[in-house]
Amino acid sequence: MTGPRFTPLAASLPATVPFVGPEAQERRMGRAFGARLGANESLFGPSPHAVQAMAQAAGDAWMYGDPEVHELRAAIAAHHGVTPAHVVAGEGIDGLLGYLVRLLVGAGDAVVTSDGAYPTFNFHVAGFGGTLHRVPYRDDREDPEALVAKAAAVGAKLVYFANPDNPMGSWHDAATVERMVAAMPEGCVLLLDEAYADLAPAGAVPAIAADDPRVIRMRTFSKGYGLAGLRVGYAIGAPDLVRAFDKVRNHFGLGRVAQAGAIAALADQAWLAGVKAKVVEARDRIAVIAGANGLRPLPSATNFVTVDCGRDGDFARRVLGGLIERGVFVRMPGVAPLDRCIRISCGREADLAVLAEMLPLALKAARG
């Protein structure tokens, strides 16, 4: 009796998970976290209108969701001033990343990203046999000029660039991003991950024509809208590229409840504005807590703050481990020199009070 006959590519890949979830750590510890501040979720929750819409849709959960996602795509198009032909919706940005890579990247094709940037993108590129080329961050930010130069040097078909950035929380202004689009090599697409754009300052969001074939922008309902548990994301791009997603996407990937919740969340912009204000307050509170413990908070345009622990990655890992042992879930960048930092999601006052209590203890243990 033989086992499954994996493809040579699949057989060559490690069985990895890009992120170890807090639930896995809780199972290992045998207890729940007292403060869940590591997954960049919105602890402020979704709009009550979205909750109501999902509850109402739950009674119809025996039906599949609309495979064309017609109403949600129309609402997104109206919100952004584009047409539904410019919009594709899918299972979060992570799902859309996989579809885009599948469309554009074959075995050996060159792809460019930043060393230390969002690892799920790399996971998809490896899964479809692409060749990743990485450039380092510069001054704790992704380096647009270096990304474009590397793309030209290796003949890349796709470049990944997040603005604002995860894991550092940094950002570039709109003019810089627009120059980057203009400088893309012929035949290369810029994947502009704007997962945190709803929480960013206005000057960080560029004006890019939706018909521009050089760029595709991705957004999510997981951050500002507080619907991470639904896995709803969308991309805005030129109609020819958007239409191509129908060749490979899971047409029933977005359930009826998820579509209803996202439509209602998008309609409640007042709730999003309130969340944005709470995020600003929480970022300031995290900065105060960090500063009181001799750590340096980095400027952030996201719903988290990256905190420089002042030493090397080994020390930051000890701090992170100490926080986890004390019931505070946080994460950290995985690549030096970014790994001198820990990353703390914005939370409610009760969550941040736990952080304020436990951080000095974790630091004492790390230094001891």
* For range 324-352, the mean pLDDT: 97
Mean pLDDT of all residues belonging to the chain: 96
Domain ranges of the chain: 19-45+270-367, 48-267
pLDDT > 90 fraction of the chain, expressed in percent and rounded? 95
* For range 109-136, the mean pLDDT: 97
Condensed to tens digits (0 to 9), the pLDDT of residues 194-234 reads: 999 999 988 999 999 999 999 999 999 999 999 999 999 99
C-alpha to C-alpha distance for 92 and 229, rounded to whole angstroms: 10
pLDDT for 1 beyond 80: no
* For range 298-305, the mean pLDDT: 98
C-alpha to C-alpha distance for 362 and 343, rounded to whole angstroms: 15
Structural contact between residues 367 and 328, judged by C-beta atoms closer than 8 angstroms: no
Q: How confident is the model at residue 124 (pLDDT cuts 50, 70, 90)?
A: very high
In this predicted structure, what is the pLDDT of residue 341? 98
Q: How confident is the model at residue 300 (pLDDT cuts 50, 70, 90)?
A: very high
* For range 78-91, the mean pLDDT: 98
Condensed to tens digits (0 to 9), the pLDDT of residues 14-60 reads: 888 778 889 999 999 999 999 999 999 999 999 999 999 999 999 99
The CATH number of 19-45+270-367 is 3.90.1150.10
* pTM for this entry: 0.95
In this predicted structure, what is the pLDDT of residue 19? 81
Name the class of domain 48-267.
alpha beta
In this predicted structure, what is the pLDDT of residue 15? 85
Condensed to tens digits (0 to 9), the pLDDT of residues 251-271 reads: 999 999 999 999 999 999 999
pLDDT for 273 beyond 80: yes
